[in-house]
Structures are given as structure tokens and as C-alpha cells.
Amino acid sequence: MRIPLYTNTTRNKEAKKTMALVTSKNMFARAHAGHYAVGAFNVNNMEVIQGVCEALSEANAPGILQISKGARDFAGMPFLRGLMQTALEVYPNLELCVHLDHGPDFELAKACLDDPIFTSVMIDGSGLPFEENIALTKKVVDYAHSMSTPKVVEAELGRLGGIEEHVVVSEKDAFLTDPDEAVIFVEKSGCDSLALAIGTSHGAYKFKTEPVLAFDIIEEVSSRLPGYPLVMHGSSSVPEEFVNLCNKYGGQIPNAKGVPEAMITRAAKMGIDKVNIDTDIRLAITATLRQFFAEKPSEFDYRKYFAPARTAVKQMVLHKLNVLGCAGKAVQ
């Protein structure tokens, strides 16, 4: 894997001048018009940030790096901020948005909006009653849009099932987005993009039987809010090759099932402009490490196995960018 290293200070200064940290506004407008989606990848450490950026760079694709509560608990914001800044310096030509994933309250959303490294936040009021979700989202939107350099806000309506780090939503508490409510929600809250609940769920066990997505909801919301950016969470495809490798080398993740790639491509064509990917990154790494440890039990130099894990992330993301249709779509 090629990781460019800038040791020359002049070059570093040059890189800083051209770095392209942007909001997702323009990315989404192009994605919507071009019927493709932008990938939003959850990152927690250096190797994943490198793998994702390397893939975006090679494919010349726009991309979103997103930080969840779990990432902040794991690495801490100072390290994540430093890694993001470094990524922008090392890849000055990338069209990159840094996004807060699932912001739980106004205080954290505000703190991230005040942080120069973030250009976008999600406020997740999907667990609140409809009117309270609108009020909370509007408060964050008003703050983000009034900044000297305005930032953007994603909200969620409807409730995805599954496990997202600390939040577990049981099947009976999950419900799909109501298109009538979606239209009112967007008008009243002013949010810049909206995550729909259309049958996907967080984690590696998305479907017990055959995968079914409510494409009619995407279609209806899209036709009633023309050009409006829609978001799909819980959209990892849980590739069989990774699940099989994990299980072959001692893993225990039976019956894992994700969203088939053809469905992701279809959703992107219908008006989904942002697709969140987290589980597939975890599976790519875990499969690589399990295989490595099984085949080379005497190896203990961690660089020897983090390097192929990072390459596996890059390859998975490269493939995903083609599924989303955003390869070659970056502007510089």
C-alpha cells in the first residue's frame, strides 16, 4: 500500500493550502443528479483512516469519514482530530467531509460544530416523539447554519433496529419512516439531509430471512422532496467472503446477513445520496487478522498483520465505491 509521507516542511505547507475539507452539500447535489451515492465510513484508528483515504484517492471519489461515540470512547477526540488533520495533509487532493455519526444531544452536536475538523454533524432524535425530534433537530440546524462558515446537519426519522455500539433497538421498537412525516420533518427542521428507516439495521445480523428494503418509501420521499439528499444507515453488505474467513479461522458469526449490493446500487439510483458503512470495515479487518494468526502463529510483530488488515480495508472500500457509483466523481 502506498502511504505518501511528506517529510519536507515546504511541501507540508503547500499541502495545507490545498487541503479540501468540505461539507457534504455539493457532494450530495452531484450524487443526486448523477444517481449515485457517497460512502460514509466509520473510522476509529490510523489504519482504517489510511485504508479508506487510500481507496478514495485511488478511485478519485468524494468521501465522508465519520466519528461515532464508540470512536471517541476508543481513541479520544484529540487523537481522532490529529489523525483527520494528518489525512487532510497527506491527501490534499481528496474531497473529504468529516461527520459526527449519531450525535445524541445538542451539547455534543454543538461541540463538534465548534470543532474546525467537523464540517457536518448528525443529530439523532429518532428515539424522541415526532415534535421533539423536530425541535431538537431545528435547534442544531439553526446553530450550524448561523456559523460564520455554515455547516450541515443530518437527522433521522423512523427507527432502525439492531445494535449500534451502545444503542440497542429491539425489533419491536424499530419502525419505518412515514413519507408524510418525512416531508413535514424536513420543512420544519430545515435539516440538510435525512436518514430514512427503510428496513436496514445496524450490525452484522440485518435480516433473519430474505433481505427486504422498503424502496417505495425512498421513491415516495424522493418524489415529494425533489433533489433532497436522503441517507441510508445500517447499509453494510456483510460480504460472505469475510464472514466465511472469520468462521473458518475460529470466528463465531453464524447467519450474518447484510444488505445485498444490488439493493444498495438500486437505492443510490433512487435518491439515497449517503450510505453508511461500518460493519464491513470491521469484518474485513477481523477476517484478515484471524487468517493471519491461524497461518502464522509464531509472528508477533503487529505491523506484519496491521498492514494486510489496512490493505483489506482499502480493497473493500474500493469495491464499495464502485457499488455506490461514486468512483471517479470527486472534484478538486
Report how far apart, in Å, the C-alpha atoms of 312 and of each of 192, 245, 280, 307 are: 33, 13, 10, 9
**Per annotation, catalytic residue among 73, 101, 142, 273:** 101
Q: Which secondary-structure segment (H or E) carries 230?
A: strand 230-232
Which SS3 state, helix, strand or coil, does residue 6 take?
coil
Closer to Zn ion by Cβ: residue 20 or 163: 163
Q: What is the nearest approach in angstroms of Zn ion to the Cβ of residue 42? A: 9
Closer to Zn ion by Cβ: residue 158 or 251: 158
Closer to Zn ion by Cβ: residue 199 or 251: 199
The rounded distance, in Å, linking the Cα atoms of 143 and 257 is 39
Query: Looking at the DSSP assignment, which residues form a beta bridge with residue 41?
Result: 65, 277
The rounded distance, in Å, linking the Cα atoms of 89 and 86 is 5
Its sign, for the CA torsion 24, 87, 1, 288, is: negative
Q: What is the nearest approach in angstroms of Zn ion to the Cβ of residue 143? A: 22
Query: Which positions touch Zn ion (CB under 5 A)?
Result: 233
Any catalytic annotation for residue 173? Answer: no
Q: What is the nearest approach in angstroms of Zn ion to the Cβ of residue 124? A: 8
Closer to Zn ion by Cβ: residue 15 or 140: 140
Q: Is 190 exposed, middle or buried (0-12, 13-18, 19+ CB in 10 A)?
A: middle
Nearest residue by C-beta to Zn ion? Answer: 233
Find the Cα–Cα–Cα–Cα dihedral 274, 279, 284, 288, rounded to 10°.
160
Q: What is the nearest approach in angstroms of Zn ion to the Cβ of residue 276? A: 5
The rounded distance, in Å, linking the Cα atoms of 304 and 221 is 48
C-beta neighbour count of 253 within 10 angstroms:
16
**Residue 54 cell numbers, joined:** 487510500
**Residue 195 cell numbers, joined:** 436518514
Closer to Zn ion by Cβ: residue 217 or 330: 217
Q: Are strands 120-123 and 167-169 parallel, antiparallel or unpaired?
A: unpaired
Closer to Zn ion by Cβ: residue 51 or 162: 162
Q: Are 174 and 197 in contact (CB under 8 A)?
A: yes
* Pick from 99, 110, 114: nearest CA to 42: 99
Q: What is the nearest approach in angstroms of Zn ion to the Cβ of residue 94? A: 23
The rounded distance, in Å, linking the Cα atoms of 109 and 155 is 11
Q: What is the nearest approach in angstroms of Zn ion to the Cβ of residue 277? A: 10
List residues with catalytic annotation: 101
